[in-house]
Structure formats: structure tokens, C-alpha cells
């Protein structure tokens, strides 16, 4: 139990690394929490600092999830399912202790967890996200569609992998819950569309 708790704490701390805040302050002398949506994730970084910074932050946030999920394997602790520390990294990303518990919306870091645990699923939901983004220009809607796609894929492709289905459902819930304000804006047709695609 102590080992499991330690990995979960490490994963949370890893997820808490505020990529958007670091990139904004170090390279642009901006705190992106004071611009746009005030969010620390990739979308607000794209909107506030541009494509190059947005890609860098998104990749860093994905890597946090991948590395957190890999912790048990890296340290030879086979008793812990990789999805559990991965989930704690996502919680850290959403509520980072290093950034006043104001973080991102769980999308990229959740993707990073799946990249380690189920890379084919990651590719499938990435395609869903990309196609939705191309058609709608809404990052928020595309993120939600990717979350729904992940649940559907896990149920169809791995019906016996109960931990995967449960954790994917939790991660999808995080994504949808964190986008609840965006959903209202989409309904009211006030949600901003991306301009770089």
C-alpha cells in the first residue's frame, strides 16, 4: 500500500508541473492565466502565445501522462496498474499544487496516459479529435468527442479490461466536466472557434 500511495503522489506531482505557466513566463514573460480563458492548458496557450508555444505545451502535457503511467514499469512495480498513477497525473494537471490548483482541462494528459497503456486507442481518439476539430473548429467539442470515442472504443475493443473501461470513463468525465462552460457557449453560439486551422 505504501508503494502504491507513493507512486500516486509522484504521479500527481508530475501532473502538477504547469507546462503552460512555465512556457509563458520563461519564453514570453506572460502568465497565461491572465489571458483568454485563464486556463493553463494547450488551448489557451495556442490562443495566447501562438502555435509554437501551444504545440510545446500540449506535447509536454501529453508527456506528463505518459511518464506517470510508466512509473510502475520503470521501477519494476508490477502490482500497480499503470492507469492508476496516470489518473492521478490527470488530477494534478487539473488541480496543480504548483499553480494554485488552477490547471488545464485534462485532455492532453489523459491522452498521454492512453498513449502508454493503449497506443492504438490513443491513435483512434486522436483521429476523432482531429477530424472533429477540422470540421467544427471547436477544440472543446472535439475534446468531448474524443472522450466519448475513448469510452466507446474501450467497450468495443477491450470489454474484459475492466480497469481500462473504468479509468477511461473517469477521464472522459473529467474532460466533459471541465468543459461544462464551453458546452453552454457552444449551445449559445458564443464559443470561439480556432483560427489557425
Per-residue pLDDT tens digits of the chain, which is 197 residues long: 667 899 999 999 999 999 999 999 999 999 999 988 888 888 899 988 999 999 999 999 999 999 999 999 999 888 899 999 999 999 999 999 999 999 999 999 999 999 999 999 999 999 999 999 999 999 999 999 999 999 999 999 999 999 999 999 999 999 999 999 999 999 999 998 888 77
Domains held by the chain: number: 1
Instruction: Identify the burial level of 59 via C-beta atoms within 10 angstroms of its C-beta, where 0-12 means exposed, 13-18 middle and 19 or more buried.
Output: middle
Three-state SS for 30? coil
Asked if 86 and 117 touch (Cβ cutoff 8 Å), the reply is: yes
- The answer to whether position 133 is within a domain reads yes
- The answer to whether position 192 is within a domain reads no
From the list 43, 11, 1, the residue with the least C-alpha distance to 178 is: 43
- The answer to whether position 71 is within a domain reads yes
Chain position carrying cell 476523432: 128
- The answer to whether position 194 is within a domain reads no
- The answer to whether position 156 is within a domain reads yes
Q: Residue 100: which domain range?
A: 2-187
- The answer to whether position 195 is within a domain reads no
- The answer to whether position 197 is within a domain reads no
Cα(102)–Cα(57) distance, integer angstroms: 16
Amino acid at each position: 500500500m505504501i508503494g502504491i500511495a507513493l507512486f500516486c503522489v509522484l504521479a500527481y506531482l508530475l501532473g502538477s508541473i504547469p507546462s503552460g505557466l512555465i512556457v509563458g513566463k520563461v519564453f514570453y514573460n506572460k502568465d497565461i492565466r491572465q489571458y483568454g480563458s485563464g486556463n493553463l492548458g494547450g488551448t489557451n496557450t495556442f490562443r495566447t502565445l501562438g502555435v509554437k508555444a501551444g504545440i510545446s505545451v500540449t506535447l509536454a502535457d501529453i508527456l506528463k501522462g505518459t511518464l506517470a503511467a510508466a512509473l510502475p514499469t520503470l521501477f519494476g512495480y508490477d502490482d500497480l496498474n499503470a492507469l492508476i498513477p496516470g489518473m492521478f497525473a490527470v488530477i494534478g494537471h487539473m488541480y496543480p499544487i504548483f499553480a494554485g490548483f488552477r490547471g488545464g482541462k485534462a485532455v492532453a494528459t489523459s491522452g498521454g496516459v492512453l498513449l502508454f497503456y493503449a497506443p492504438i486507442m490513443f491513435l483512434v481518439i486522436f483521429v476523432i479529435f482531429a477530424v472533429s476539430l477540422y470540421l467544427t473548429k471547436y477544440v472543446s467539442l472535439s475534446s468531448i468527442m474524443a472522450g466519448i470515442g475513448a469510452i466507446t472504443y474501450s467497450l468495443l475493443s477491450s470489454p474484459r479490461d475492466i480497469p481500462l473501461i473504468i479509468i477511461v470513463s473517469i477521464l472522459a468525465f473529467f474532460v466533459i466536466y471541465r468543459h461544462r462552460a464551453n458546452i453552454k457557449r457552444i449551445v449559445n453560439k458564443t464559443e470561439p472557434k480556432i483560427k489557425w486551422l
